[in-house]
């Protein structure tokens, strides 16, 4: 497809850097760094590999509740009766009491901050009647938001061979939460929560070590190793990191901090175009107007490695002339932003309607085109 180069992004100081800085690996078994400001994947290590999510499962458990709060079928003040199953649940606990009622708001904080397995079951049973039925709701929501490698059978992440996910799916859950529930998401930033006179600290190490970190969850089981879903916002960008399969809580803390630092320090968010910006004027075929404006459908911004800014190019990919009639908003070309070996494509749409010429005018224009190469 023909392309028209619009501009190259030239930063002379960057030319001093001879090697790209964006190549990096992780000591985790699976790792993903996503810039949700642009949707780009900055690092991908086995992100589609099936793994056990352990307590990182709970971000999906909480998301099911967030969805119901948003649609009005669940309220923060609603109370659920604690079952014996929830009360007896092992692992990390909120220390709820059997046969006592507890507010949804407290259960959510008991899950988000204290990672309570007991709270997860109590919430699941309160919402769906049983944890098994709640797991069906988790999977249904997963399908809705585009998860491709996950299956949930419980609300806490308790080990089960049929309970699994991927780093990419966990990132999608986190992204959906931030974008669709920004106010409720804020509870993930709390450093501590006290229930039943028992104070517990948030287990997310990034909240203490990285300026701008505000979520999500850690996880650990012997089968899965140590994992974390983390998120931070800084300088107009939000990153999500997912790590799993680390060998200690210390390595989890160090690796999550290292990758968060790397993601923010070695990439620059470049705003190329705003929504509805005019990008290019294309030739039309047999149109009442000889040109049609190509505009952006949304803001176009890309996180580019700082070492690659000097080589970034913007091209319009288009087959000209454009057949008429053309409807305003119709996608008729693509904008390609490229650097190194990476290419990112965005659609371009017609900025206005272009009607086709009348029959005799079309005949005349076609003859001119055959002879002179113009309509």
- Residue pLDDT, tens place only, 177-210: 999 999 999 999 999 999 999 999 999 999 999 9
Instruction: Give CA–CA dist 240/4, Å, rounded.
Output: 34
Q: Is the pLDDT of residue 364 over 70?
A: no
348 close to 317: Cβ distance less than 8 angstroms: no
Q: Is the pLDDT of residue 241 over 70?
A: yes
C-alpha distances out from residue 41 to 148, 246, 263, 303, Å: 17, 21, 10, 10
Across 160-186, average pLDDT: 98
Residue 58 designated active-site: yes
Share of the chain above pLDDT 70, in %: 89
Q: Is the pLDDT of residue 375 over 60?
A: no
Residue 34 pLDDT level (bands cut at 50, 70, 90) = very high
Residue 360 CB burial class (10 angstroms; 0-12, 13-18, ≥19): exposed
Give me the domains of the chain, ranges plus CATH numbers: 3-12+271-372 (2.60.410.10), 23-265 (3.40.710.10)
Among 324, 344, 333, 338, which residue's Cα sits nearest to residue 281? 333
Among 16, 248, 240, 50, which residue's Cα sits nearest to residue 149? 50
The distance in angstroms from the start CA to the end CA of the chain is 21
Residue 191 is encoded by which pair of tokens?
């450093």
Across 240-268, average pLDDT: 97
Q: Provide the Cα torsion 362, 365, 367, 370; round to 10°.
A: -120
Q: Which of 115, 120, 156, 256 is catalytic?
A: 115
Q: How many CA atoms within 13 Å lie on the side-chain side of 287?
A: 21
Q: Which of 45, 47, 58, 301 is catalytic?
A: 58
Instruction: Give CA–CA dist 341/327, Å, rounded.
Output: 34
SS3 313: strand
Q: Is the pLDDT of residue 288 over 70?
A: yes
Residue 1 pLDDT level (bands cut at 50, 70, 90) = low
Residue 115 designated active-site: yes
Across 268-291, average pLDDT: 92
pLDDT at res. 39: 87
**Is the omega angle on the peptide bond into residue 37 within 30 degrees of 0, that is, cis?**
no
Across 3-27, average pLDDT: 50
pLDDT at res. 24: 85
Instruction: Give CA–CA dist 345/318, Å, rounded.
Output: 12
Q: Is the pLDDT of residue 15 over 60?
A: no
pLDDT at res. 35: 95
Residue 230 CB burial class (10 angstroms; 0-12, 13-18, ≥19): buried
Across 256-269, average pLDDT: 95
Q: Which of 47, 54, 55, 256 is catalytic?
A: 55
Residue 263 is encoded by which pair of tokens?
């993601």
């Amino acid at each position: 497809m023909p392309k028209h180069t619009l501009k190259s992004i030239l930063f002379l100081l960057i030319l001093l850097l001879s090697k790209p800085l964006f190549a990096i690996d992780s000591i985790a078994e699976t790792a993903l760094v996503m810039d949700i400001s642009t949707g780009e994947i900055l690092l991908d290590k086995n992100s589609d590999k099936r793994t056990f999510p352990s307590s990182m499962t709970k971000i999906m458990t909480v998301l099911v509740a967030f969805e119901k709060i948003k649609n009005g079928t669940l309220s923060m003040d609603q109370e659920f009766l604690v079952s014996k199953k929830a009360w007896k649940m092992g692992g990390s606990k909120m220390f709820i009491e059997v046969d006592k009622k507890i507010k949804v708001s407290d259960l959510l904080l008991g899950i988000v901050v204290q990672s309570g397995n007991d709270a997860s079951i109590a919430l699941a049973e309160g919402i769906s009647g049983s944890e098994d039925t709640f797991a069906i709701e988790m999977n249904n929501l997963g399908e809705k938001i585009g998860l491709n490698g996950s299956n949930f059978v419980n609300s806490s992440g308790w080990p089960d061979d049929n309970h699994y996910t991927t780093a990419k799916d966990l990132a999608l859950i986190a992204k959906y939460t931030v974008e669709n529930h920004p106010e409720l998401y804020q509870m993930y930033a709390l450093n501590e929560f006290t229930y039943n006179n028992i104070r517990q600290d948030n287990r997310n190490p990034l909240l203490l070590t990285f300026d701008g970190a505000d979520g999500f969850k850690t996880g650990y089981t012997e089968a899965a190793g140590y994992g974390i879903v983390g998120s931070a916002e800084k300088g107009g960008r939000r990153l999500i990191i997912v790590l799993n399969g680390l060998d200690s809580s210390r390595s989890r803390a160090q690796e999550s901090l290292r990758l968060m630092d790397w993601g923010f320090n070695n990439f620059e968010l470049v705003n190329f175009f705003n929504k509805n910006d005019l990008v290019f004027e294309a030739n039309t075929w047999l149109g009442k107007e000889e040109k049609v404006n190509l505009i952006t459908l949304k803001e176009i911004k890309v996180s580019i490695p700082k070492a690659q800014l000097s080589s970034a190019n913007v091209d319009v990919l288009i087959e000209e002339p454009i057949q008429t009639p053309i409807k305003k908003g119709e996608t008729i070309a693509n904008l390609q932003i490229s650097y190194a070996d990476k290419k990112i494509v965005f659609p371009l749409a017609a900025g206005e309607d272009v009607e086709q010429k009348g029959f005799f005018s079309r005949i005349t224009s076609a003859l001119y085109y055959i002879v002179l190469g113009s309509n």
